[in-house]
Amino acid sequence: MDPLTALRQLAMQGELDRITESGGEFHFGSSDWSFPCTAATAFRCKTGGFYTLDALVFFLRHYSLRHTDYLQSATQHQVPAVTFPDRKPLLDYLFGHTSASASIAVSLAPSAPAPAPLAPSSFDEYRPEDDPAHPQTQVSLDTADYVSMIRALERPLKDRDALLEAKNRDFYAVYLASTKREDERNRAEAHQRKDGLVAKTRISGRSNDDRANDKAGLAVTTGSALGAVPKQVVRVKGVPIIMVPSASQTLITIYNVRDFLEDGIYVPSDVKAKAMKGSRPDCVTVQKKLSRDRAAAVGAYEVRDKPSALKADDWDRVVAVFVLGKEWQFKDWPFKDHFEIFNKVLGFFMRFEDDSVESAKVVKQWNVKIISISKNKRHQDRAAALEVWDRLEEFMRSRSH
């Protein structure tokens, strides 16, 4: 009988405790079966070669341990360990759950030795490596499955489920950043409204004493030629107004005027309209952030696109207009012609620099400033916005003197 069959018989009977070790041999109960501890069995290892008898006996005595603990114990006792892929088929075969296994090669396994007398002297002098009946099987380095050997010693620290749980990771930082941006935007809008009130006070807040002095000065110079024809001074009373076209085919509309004038970035109107989900504002307050003249009095402007909604007093506050190049844009304006419009109001025409000349053919006949921007080079938008602010500030200074 070979060692594997003898071991299986005792395992099926539940008599593994009857296996004793003495003098480098295992003795199987009261029978005369005895085999060297290092005798190769018929059970082939996944990594090549056959398991030795001491490896299988040690495994049967400790198979209830976790595989990692079993490997540590086998290393401490200097016993070859059973690999993890061989655990289940080996247990099923030894305990009789299966009658055969693909890993068993009886014809290739060394034959079992004949029962030997239990003389102490023979135990002392017996050397398995010198026994020609039990050649030692060595694992070939070329055919060894190093991956299985490494995996058998590995201890998993994280699996797929543990990585998906993402402990100590959340989106709280993203939430804080979003909240911070929203707070900054709300503060900026509140600051813009405050600047609008300050601008209104600075422009129209002349004291009664100043007005009395102006009247006295005019009375003194009444008889002179200069006093006979006093120069009419147009002063802005209230927050200045910038008009933009209500058409969608123009570059600057009520949707994207704030991004262009405040931040110096051109955003297409349709993109901003989608972002605002179709809500069309009647009035947009624009703060002068890109001005080179920090001492300028006006800090905010109102932007509107509906001339019919303006009252008679509101037209005195209109200081600039972005023209579309179409006559119908000025249908509801209280001026008789383009000469009068652009003599009182500063005009701008926005176009792409690679547009055809025909797009500005009509506008060139008007007293307006043509501002060209690139379709793709957004870093050039700031220079165009600064040019608008520079001309607007110069125009405001000329109206206030």
Same domain, 151 and 202: no
For residue 316, what are the CA distances in angstroms to 173, 198, 346, 365?
Answer: 49, 18, 13, 25
pLDDT of residue 233: 43
pLDDT in tens, 130-147: 555 555 555 555 556 778
Helices of type H across 205-268: 208-220, 225-228, 257-263
Same domain, 124 and 198: no
Q: Of all helices (H) and strands (E), which one includes residue 241?
A: strand 241-243
Residue 219 lies in a domain: no
pLDDT of residue 240: 92
Domain boundary among 143, 158, 173: 158
Length of the chain, in residues: 401
* CATH code where residue 267 lies: 3.40.50.11990
DSSP lists the bridge partners of residue 383 as none
Same domain, 151 and 238: no
Residues of the chain predicted below pLDDT 70: 30-31, 106-144, 166-172, 193-237, 278, 290-298, 359, 401
- 242 is written with which tokens? 């910038």
pLDDT of residue 169: 66
Quote the pTM value: 0.43
pLDDT of residue 133: 55
How many Å apart are CA 271 and CA 248, to the nearest integer? 12
DSSP string, 318-373: EEEEE--S-GGGGTT-S-SSHHHHHHHSEEEEEEETTS-GGGGTTGGGSSEEEEEE
Contact 67, 159 (CB under 8 A): no
Residue 239 structural domain: 187-207+233-400
pLDDT of residue 302: 92
Same domain, 113 and 200: no
Q: How many domains does the chain have?
A: 2
pLDDT of residue 321: 94
pLDDT of residue 220: 43
